[in-house]
A and B are shown apart, each in its own frame.
Chain A
Amino acid sequence: MTCWETIGAYAFRSLGYGERLLPRSDFTLCQQFTLIGSGLIWNVYFGVLALLFGFFFANALALAKASRSAIARKPAEWFIFVFRGSPLFIQFFLAYEALQLLPKAGIEIFGLTVQTAWTTKAWAGALFVLFLNTAAYSAEIFYGALQSVPKGDLEAADAYGITGWNRFRRIQWPTMLRLAWPAYTNEAIFLFHSTALVFFSGFPAFQQRGDALYYANYFADKTFNPFIPYPIVAVYFIILTLILTGLFGLINRRLNRHLPSNMGRKIRLRPQLIR
């Protein structure tokens, strides 16, 4: 098989298209690059969707945690504590076992049967866990940023008569986002990194449709040679990280566009947020 044929056969293998059987002998570099790249689709899928949904939930959580009413604050605090205080790996296992306890035939609600089988699949179950997890970590970042909005900004808003929802939407929230963005960038990077855990926890890879690390591990197990597949994963992830930093840097520039250019907060990658 030439390399082009391999790419044709395996480029979308992780989604179930193309050749059914994975290569079993005579592994070529091309096969490894293609299959691992194909698995990366799942990493991007989990990362992008979890980040997107998580962003909104994290805002709500941060507001709830900063709220004065205990009814809103306590649940948010507990949620953040549970998801930040325990390993993601255990969360995956726990979620998988819990979802499996749902009745197989579906749940009857007002005469409608709600299917439950799909929740134990990785695309839904693992995405849900990642979504909750990143929401908790991001909420803590947003909460911290909300607390460090300069007092002067709020006083100026009061002086102009901007109050309530308007004050939040036009003063507090943009400043919070601007302050939180560098830390949030780190969180996004480490969320993408933790997507590599999905198929090593409870969630099984259906018909060998796995993520980048799943295929790399497949090759390493088959060839007893870790020196080729794992560096390939590493290269893919470095590229992913660079793209992500670039995108978040653009947003960061936009968030800081009203500031004198030397005052913009630079994004520094600080590996303090993995789980």
Chain B
Amino acid sequence: MFASCADPKTLEGLNWLMCYLTTGKHLDFYWSFVIVLILLAVTAPVALAFGFGGAMAARSSFLPLRMLGKGYTAMVRGVPDIVFFLFFVIALDQGIEWLNHQIQCPDWTEPVRQGLEFRVCPEAKVPLNSAPQLVHQFYGFGLAVVTFALVFGAFAANVLYGAMMAVPRPQLETAEAYGMSPRQVFRRILVPQMWVYALPGLSNLWMILIKATPLLFLLGVQDIVYWARELGGAKTSAYEYPHPDWRLWYFLFLLAFYLGFTRVSEVVLARISARLSHGQATAAGEAMRKAAL
């Protein structure tokens, strides 16, 4: 990156370290932290939307929809989330290709599953074999985001369903007595009030989501764990920057990153919680009122 780094063999001490930490691969490593943050920023709202839909479906008066919602919320209870991660990535990929196959090549006669292979016609490949590497990477990342959103949506549905149930009944009954339709009650009374009940669960979920991001590695995305293993491994003198096995230090760095991230989140979430409790008819709100007197 810097001009002085042109010949690493001649460098010593701090100069060597500075040049070592700014190699192209290290810049990829730093970029992968941004990828984790992007994943979080995209997944959190999508998962919340999925969760909201799931909770609404679980409360629906229409039986099949209710079953669907309850099934979705129950999904994550008995089964480890990593099973879903491994499952959804392949299942979604194959599902998309199969659908595309049905549309693009209706007169393809061979079966899609031949023994041990999953073979669709070349035009139905997603992304196409001829597509640039970047498209493949984007597609892989997109699949990971959808997988994360599906699994964490189920967790969020659990939390939001509980929060909707926790809103005091009399509040809703009063609204009904004023002649509001069920839809109005939901939109004007239930949803604004449920957030304070949902917040402890949602903040917990955010922490879990942060701590689930290293699993990206298992989904085949070149994330921080991938680069930490790649860069930390012992390098012989055939490499520009030879060094012994430094993986321990790289993983310690990741540990510090996550500890800092969860700590900052904790502080921010505590502030939000305090703000939301303000003026609410809950224990926390009552304590704030007393403290202000």
| Chain A contact residues, CB within 8 Å of chain B | 25, 81-82, 85-91, 93-94, 97-98, 100-101, 193-194, 196-197, 200, 213, 216-217, 220, 222-227, 230, 233-234, 237-238, 241-242, 269-275
Query: What residues of chain A lie closer than 8 Å to B245, measured between beta carbons?
Result: 97, 100
Cα-based distance from A259 to B118 in the complex (angstroms): 59
Q: Count contacts on B: residues with CB < 8 A to the other chain.
A: 48
Interface of B (DSSP majority class): helix
Known: A94-B248, A226-B86. A193 touches B218 (CB 8 A): no
Query: What residues of chain A lie closer than 8 Å to B259, measured between beta carbons?
Result: 81-82, 85-86
Q: Looking at the complex, which one of B116, B204, B212, B252 makes contact with A223 (CB distance below 8 Å)? A: B116
Query: What residues of chain A lie closer than 8 Å to B211, measured between beta carbons?
Result: 86-88, 275
Query: What residues of chain A lie closer than 8 Å to B255, measured between beta carbons?
Result: 82, 86, 90-91, 94
Contact (Cβ within 8 A) B258 A230:
no
Q: Looking at the complex, which one of B77, B82, B91, B229 makes contact with A200 (CB distance below 8 Å)? A: B82
Query: What residues of chain A lie closer than 8 Å to B83, measured between beta carbons?
Result: 196, 213, 216, 230, 233-234, 237
Work out how many contacts link A and B, with CB atoms closer than 8 A: 120
Contact (Cβ within 8 A) B90 A220:
yes
Query: What residues of chain A lie closer than 8 Å to B94, measured between beta carbons?
Result: 224, 226
Cα-based distance from A275 to B204 in the complex (angstroms): 10
Query: What residues of chain A lie closer than 8 Å to B263, measured between beta carbons?
Result: 81, 85
Determine whether B28 belongs to the interface, using a CB cutoff of 8 Å to chain A. no
Residues from 65 to 109 in B contacting A, C-beta threshold 8 Å: 76-83, 86-87, 90-91, 94
Determine whether B52 belongs to the interface, using a CB cutoff of 8 Å to chain A. no
Known: A89-B214, A90-B258. A274 touches B208 (CB 8 A): yes
Contact (Cβ within 8 A) B116 A230:
no
Query: What residues of chain B lie closer than 8 Å to A233, measured between beta carbons?
Result: 79, 83
Contact with A along B202-234 (1 / 0, CB 8 A): 001100101111110110000001001100100
Closest 7 CB pairs of A and B: A193-B80, A238-B78, A230-B87, A87-B211, A226-B90, A85-B262, A97-B248
Instruction: Specify the chain A residue showing the minimal Cβ separation from B90.
Output: A226
Determine whether B247 belongs to the interface, using a CB cutoff of 8 Å to chain A. yes
Known: A88-B211, A94-B255, A226-B91. A272 touches B86 (CB 8 A): no
Known: A88-B211, A271-B77. A98 touches B87 (CB 8 A): no
Residues from 139 to 162 in B contacting A, C-beta threshold 8 Å: 155, 158-159, 162
13 contacts between A and B (CB under 8 A): A88-B211, A91-B255, A93-B228, A94-B251, A97-B248, A194-B80, A213-B86, A226-B87, A237-B79, A237-B80, A271-B77, A271-B158, A273-B204
Query: What residues of chain A lie closer than 8 Å to B53, measured between beta carbons?
Result: none
Query: What residues of chain A lie closer than 8 Å to B116, measured between beta carbons?
Result: 25, 222-224
Query: What residues of chain B lie closer than 8 Å to A200, measured between beta carbons?
Result: 82, 218
Cα-based distance from A234 to B117 in the complex (angstroms): 24
Name the distance in Å between B229's Cβ and chain A's nearest Cβ.
Answer: 8
Contact (Cβ within 8 A) B78 A241:
yes
Cα-based distance from A230 to B255 in the complex (angstroms): 30
Query: What residues of chain A lie closer than 8 Å to B90, measured between beta carbons?
Result: 220, 224, 226
Name the distance in Å between A179's Cβ and chain B's nearest Cβ.
Answer: 17
